Amino acid sequence: MARVVVVSDATPLIALSSVGQLQLLEKLFGRVLVPLAVWQEVVLEGGPGAPGAREVAQASWLERTQAPALEPSLAKLGRGEAEAIALARTLPDALLLVDDAPARRRARALGVPLMGTLGVLRRAKVAGHLAFLRPVLEHLGEQGFRVHPDLIDGLLRDVGELTD
């Protein structure tokens, strides 16, 4: 079976680093490709004090890469999201990490497999990289990441941390 090639947008990198869990990406996927626009958004534009900037800049397993030319259907998205989708489309067995709803809709329409931050955390819990998911989700909420409570309950139920 071919190994999945993972391409990340900015939000999963920022979210995971803000709760001290960026290393989960390396544990789950080995290496992660980061388009240059995403790298610029996370590391350069936010500055060294921005959420995730230092952690992302120091993660040697994150590979900065040039995205292919953007097709017109991606023009309404942010530059980082558009580059991430464009790059994922060119790679066989690619998995796109993205949270933004319009970008997720566009990626799905283009047939790009995707996963969001919560999917990464779920996979990490199932793989045994997280003892408990609830405190990570609570910390994520404290960092300003909004997730509908029903989605959190469903996720916690799915991994056995919430029973009716």
Q: pLDDT, tens digit, for every residue of 115-136?
A: 999 999 999 999 999 999 999 9
Q: How confident is the model over 127-153, as a mean pLDDT?
A: 92
pLDDT at residue 2 is higher than 60? no
pLDDT over threshold 90, residue 59: yes
Work out the pLDDT band at 71, boundaries 50, 70, 90. confident
Identify the CATH assignment for 5-120 out of 3.40.50.720, 3.30.499.10, 1.10.3080.10, 3.40.50.1010: 3.40.50.1010
Mean pLDDT to the nearest integer, 21-26: 96
pLDDT at position 21: 96
Note the pLDDT of residue 96.
98
> What's the pLDDT at 1?
40
Identify the band that residue 47 occupies on the pLDDT scale cut at 50, 70 and 90: low
48: pLDDT strictly greater than 80: no
Q: Does the pLDDT at position 54 exceed 80?
A: yes
Question: Average pLDDT in the 61-85 region?
Answer: 93
For the chain, the structural domain boundaries read 5-120
Residue 77 above 50 pLDDT?
Answer: yes
Q: What is the mean pLDDT of residues 86-110?
A: 95
d(Cα 107, Cα 84) in Å, to the nearest integer? 10
